[in-house]
Amino acid sequence: MKATPSLSLLAVVTLAAGALTVDAAAPAQAATCNGYVGLTFDDGPSNSTPALLNALTQNGLRATMFNQGQHAAAYPARVKAQVNAGMWVGNHSYTHPHLTQQSQATIDSEISRTQQAVAAAGGGTPKLFRPPYGETNSTVRAIAAKYGLTEIIWNVDSQDWNGASTEAIVAAAGRLTHGQVILMHDWSANSLAAIPRIAQGLAARGLCAGMISPQTGRAVAPTAAVKPGAA
Ligand SMILES: [Zn+2]
């Protein structure tokens, strides 16, 4: 996709021309929204994050970034960039272990250190938690809750971690219905390449990219009063 930025831009312009209210750079809620979906990108921030943020903002999309604490500590400016780009920042553990195989003390440390690293980077205090690999149990959930975190898994798995093609990732996003959440990854070049077509597909179905409610775990309209990243 790095060889075809002009095609991506063309797609955005074409989309904007076909809708009355869409500005390519405007928040997704500027379009007519009959429902909301939650786009999520795990494992950042990384060297891939700036391009991902550019693609999302240029296509009028907002997403929830489930950051690893160790990466937030290593790239604090990129956490801040996520917030500045209108993204929400969640907790994805510090070192990405299989949490259900860890001691309570280790689970606690993985979660609490990530809260601290994200906050120290300017990402706010996360309210959403995604366990690595989606592996969880009552102990993991209880410790997350202790830090005010709601566990968020996903409704649709893009399979970008498993070598899914850009076409397959676009198709996966096409299966999202109102309120649902899709799993993607910060580092996935195919997910990055899929973003313009994901945006087109959602717009065609009257769906907008929303925030994930800590109360319900479902995608909802962004709350204007809540600073991006605070959720
Ligand atoms: Zn992960």
CATH class of 50-199+208-220: alpha beta
Catalytic residue among 92, 160, 185, 186: 185
Q: How far is the CA of 23 from the centre of ligand 1 (A)?
A: 32
Q: Is 42 one of the annotated active-site residues of the chain?
A: yes
CA dist 131 → 33, 61, 149, 186, 199 (Å)? 30, 24, 11, 16, 27
CA dist 119 → 16, 154, 190 (Å)? 36, 24, 30
Q: How far is the CA of 75 from the centre of ligand 1 (A)?
A: 17
Q: How is the chain split into domains, by residue range?
A: 50-199+208-220
| pLDDT in 10s for each residue of the chain, 231 residues | 344 444 444 444 334 333 334 444 444 445 589 999 999 999 999 999 999 999 999 999 999 999 999 999 999 999 999 999 999 999 999 999 999 999 999 999 999 999 999 999 999 999 999 999 999 999 999 999 999 999 999 999 999 999 999 999 999 999 999 999 999 999 999 999 999 999 999 999 999 999 999 999 999 999 865 444 544
Q: How far is the CA of 170 from the centre of ligand 1 (A)?
A: 20
| pLDDT tens by residue, 104-129 | 999 999 999 999 999 999 999 999 99
| Residues near ligand 1 ion, CB 5 Å cutoff | 42-43, 132
Q: How far is the CA of 153 from the centre of ligand 1 (A)?
A: 11
As given in the structure block, the two tokens for residue 184 are 């993607």
How many CB atoms sit inside 10 A of residue 217's CB?
16
Q: How far is the CA of 34 from the centre of ligand 1 (A)?
A: 30
Residue 38 to residue 90: CA distance in whole angstroms: 13
DSSP states along 175-224: T--TT-EEEEETT-HHHHHHHHHHHHHHHHTTEEE-EEPTTTSSEE---T
Q: Is 160 one of the annotated active-site residues of the chain?
A: no
Positive or negative, the Cα torsion across 48, 51, 55, 60?
positive
Long-range residue pairs from 159-163, CB within 8 A, at least 24 positions apart, any chain: 160/184, 160/185, 160/188, 160/190, 160/191, 161/185, 161/188
Q: Can you give the pLDDT at residue 32? A: 85
Q: Can you give the pLDDT at residue 109? A: 98
CA angle at 88 for the pair 58 and 105, rounded to the nearest 5°: 145
Q: Is 89 helix (H, G, I), strand (E, B) or coil?
A: strand
Please name which of 167, 149, 152 lies closest in space to residue 42, comparing C-alpha atoms.
Answer: 152
As given in the structure block, the two tokens for residue 83 are 């917030």
Q: How far is the CA of 97 from the centre of ligand 1 (A)?
A: 9
Beta strands in 103-165 (DSSP E): 128-129, 150-151, 156-157
Catalytic residue among 42, 43, 160, 186: 42
Q: Can you give the pLDDT at residue 10? A: 40
